[in-house]
Amino acid sequence: MKKTVIIGILLFIATATVYWKSIPHSFNTVYENRRFFDSDGEFIVRQYREGKTFTHNDHLLYHILGKAIQQHSDPIPSLKGDIVRSHKVLSILAGGLGVVLFYLMGLTMTSRHLPAALGALFAGGCAGWWFFSSTIDTYLPCVLASSAALGAAILVIKKPTRHASAALGALVGLAFLFRTDSILLAVLGLSLLNRREGVFTRIAVAAGAAIVVGVVGYFVLAHTCYDVAWGEVPQWAQGALQRPEASKKPLWGLAENLSRHNITKVLVNHVCYTAVFPQLPTTQVTHIIRAYSPSGIATLSVYAVIMMTAAGYALSQIRSGIRARNWAVLILSATVVLWVAMRIFFYSWWDPRDPFLFANMTLPALWLLLMLGAQQAYLVHKESPGTAWYIPAAMLLLTSLVWIHNLRLLIIPLRDFA
């Protein structure tokens, strides 16, 4: 326990410090910087200063917390009421805590500190995680809550109790309060089906908790923090459909957005670019070879080989699991596939013009795939654990390359522009 606490604290301090220092705070105040993936940091700061809240309905809890931090940050030396720094704290805390959470979840899956820590650092060094942990936007607090919901789903699979089911539902509801597109977390309901006994009770408990936290919580926050009348909350919550991009000059939520080109563009961002960043500005490029530098191709190749190997280990254990009536690997594998697929199709339909923005929402699934592969690989070698040395070695190689690559191709170039 002491070792776990120490490692967790060190991971948080190290990653939070890196995120705080990576991209200058001024990046979030320059309009021209929005050309990078149309990042919303400058927009959020400007809207806050102007007292405008017309986009808050989609990211309710994020803006409430951002305002609370800013209004109570005067005594904190590094903040002192500064709007940019106060909002950036939300991203940094979410990023650092998310890395710690991945470590704890990985430790639960593998019972080994080294692969758990390396898996967490892999996620923390991925381009989408690193960028949005270092700048202002609504994503990382939501991804943190989504990752916690994933952790609760893993717990439900191991111990399908009412308390675990309630935690799953509550965390899905919490993620919904941060971003309403978290309704896609419904895929985590697969974890409730691991055992037949008490399945309907688990579903009812999880759904009830999600409704109380997500729906009832939304009504309460909208009414108390934004003075929205109780009966007007449902209409207010659909504000995204009233924006020009979705109504007057519709670009969002169109069936024609689901073209092969758009789906391919969103797919490569969710599967490749959010982990191993291409050169600036190439997140709109669907041809992977053209998007990457030669060194980028090498890093991407290592990433692809290790992730496919992880998938291979997971798939190889599904058949034996089914024979033993152990559905855990099947459910977790299906969760990875559906988590990624649902987001690719949803964001292709909603807004394929800024594919890198939403791709970080897939990172928990990429982490799960890596750790599920590690877990199953260790089980294959349980009779001769000494032969499993290549598992942490491969994870160390991947994590190191991802951090170095994204530092060179994403963070340093953005620092130069800032």
pTM (2 d.p.): 0.96
Round to whole Å and give the CA distance between 401 and 296. Answer: 10
Average pLDDT estimate for 164-178: 98
CB 370 within 8 A of CB 276: no
The amino acid at residue 63 is H
Q: Summarize pLDDT for 1-56 with one digit per residue, the tens.
A: 899 999 999 999 999 999 999 999 999 999 988 888 888 999 999 999 999 998 89
Tokens of 364: 């928990």
pLDDT at 248: 67
DSSP 369-386: HHHHHHHHHHHHTTTSGG
Q: Summarize pLDDT for 256-267 with one digit per residue, the tens.
A: 999 999 999 999
pLDDT at 247: 67
CB 278 within 8 A of CB 285: yes
Cβ-based neighbour number of residue 322 at 10 Å: 12
Q: Is the pLDDT of residue 307 over 90?
A: yes
Mean pLDDT over the full length of the chain: 94
Average pLDDT estimate for 53-71: 95
Measured between alpha carbons, how far is residue 54 from residues 39, 136, 214, 240, 241 in Å?
18, 18, 20, 9, 12
3-state secondary structure of 215: helix
Tokens of 162: 């009412």
Q: Is the pLDDT of residue 403 over 90?
A: yes
